[in-house]
Structure 1
Amino acid sequence: MRKNPSEGQPFPVDLIEQRATFRGHLKIDELHLRHGLFNGGMSEQMSREVVWRRDAVVVLPYDPKRDEVVLIEQFRASALFNGDRAWMVEFVAGLIEDGETPEAVGVRELMEESGLEPLGALRHVTTTYSTPGFASERFHLYYAPVDATKAGGIHGLVHEHEDIRVFSLPFAEAYALWQRGGAPNTPVSIGILWLALHREKLQQEWGEPDGLPHR
């Protein structure tokens, strides 16, 4: 956090205390603060717990020639906690480590989790908070053109306990899967809707003379 939490904010923030309450796979801090109010003045002192986590990169692998989306499926304990299907259909994703660019992370994770290499430069779609009510994590969503005929098999890093099934679906089937609740997570929701708006343009770009997408 910035030394001056009010910097860049539309209203003043008075950070009274920040205390580390948990340090493990996740890091949780308890903040005691006051903040400016829309009608003027300052709020009463309040306590808020924040989960601190590195930013993540999510990659939407799409084959514009075949109009196919590459998806992965893996175990998620959080869904198990809620009694939902614990094998979640997602896009490729990974955390940004110190000194890494989001694009480099996207290329690395695409290879590790799907065995695919992008056929052109990754294109930034959006950056958004995963759960702003309590977590600092943002995810940077990128589109990557791929050859979906090479998508398949089981991938992931054993030492990270990854067991990832890779498969591809025609866009219409991927959209229908999402629409009926078969991929209940924010990155897929945003990515599928973005693709619904832009896939015709991506297909047109793919047909340009050099066979690669253009920005």
Structure 2
Amino acid sequence: MTETTEADQLADRAADVTVSAPEILGRGFMSYERYEVSLRRDGEPPLLQRRDVVRAGRVAAVVPIDLTRDTVVLIRQFRLPAHFATGRGDMVEVVAGRVEDGEAATVAARRECIEEIGIAPERLIELYSVLPTPGFTDEQITFFAGFLDSSAVSERGGVADEDEDTQPFVVSIDEALAALGDGRIANALLYSALQWLALNRARLPELFNRAV
């Protein structure tokens, strides 16, 4: 019998599961699907579940950093679900967007920067990936650090045919990190990105040299 270590306990792993073909509940910008699931654990009878999933797919998110000025570029964008949840739908966010079918996440990251803040990073490095709401959607977000000249950022961004309207702005890294603790921001992607930045700020010159 193989002994389970603490490291093993802390790692996500494949499940012994059978999943039905999807029942399409609705289609819009994303697909809303229902599945019948049979989950097996350690010789116990199968656990039968019915689960509804929003098929959102892959997302690339970018923390645009200006090492010379010690600043980050963020955006402001309206989010209807946030409006419903908190009444503060005009959210502060990092650059982020869908990775198209067949597209590399790095390509999507550069494209989203051009679309949302008007400039592509001079260098880009992949950081980590997360599933923000795995009980509801298969959305997988890959974060990047993008190094750029923040003085070249546009005053307005967004893709017109997607009804997207983003308002880029530049703030000091100190001010961005201060916003983590005082309730000004609620966007999970921004929280995750700023927490990473707080933990890795001293390594930014090293990451810049490794970026491509």
Give the TM-score taking structure 2 as reference length.
Answer: 0.87
The C-alpha deviation readout for 1:74-104, integer Å capped at 9, x for no partner, is 1000111113311110011110112211111
Give the number of aligned pairs: 199
Q: Which residue of 2 aligns with 1:192?
A: 194
Structure 1 stretches of 4+ with a deviation exceeding 4 A read none
Correspondences of 1:1-215 after superposition (within 5 Å):
10-16=14-20, 18-37=22-41, 39-120=42-123, 122-202=124-204, 204-205=205-206, 213-215=208-210
Counterpart CA distance in 2 for 1:201 and 1:30 is 44
Higher helix share: 2
Amino acid aligned to 1:140: T
Give the TM-score taking structure 1 as reference length.
Answer: 0.86
Aligned to 2:22, what secondary structure does the other structure show?
strand
Q: Which residue of 1 aligns with 2:8?
A: none
Amino acid aligned to 1:165: Q
Counterpart CA distance in 2 for 1:33 and 1:201 is 44
Amino acid aligned to 1:47: R
1:17 Cα deviation (Å)?
5.1
Counterpart CA distance in 1 for 2:46 and 2:102 is 38
Q: Which residue of 2 aligns with 1:5?
A: none
| Conserved 8 A contact 1:57-1:94 | yes
The C-alpha deviation readout for 1:135-184, integer Å capped at 9, x for no partner, is 01101100000112223411111111111111011111111123222221
| Conserved 8 A contact 2:18-2:37 | yes
- Runs of at least 5 residues in structure 2 that lack an aligned partner in the other structure: 1-12
Aligned to 1:45, what secondary structure does the other structure show?
strand
Counterpart CA distance in 1 for 2:15 and 2:168 is 46
| Conserved 8 A contact 1:112-1:157 | yes
Counterpart CA distance in 2 for 1:179 and 1:150 is 29
| Conserved 8 A contact 2:58-2:99 | yes
| Conserved 8 A contact 1:62-1:146 | yes
The C-alpha deviation readout for 1:5-45, integer Å capped at 9, x for no partner, is xxxx64421234531111112211111121012x5323332
Amino acid aligned to 1:12: D
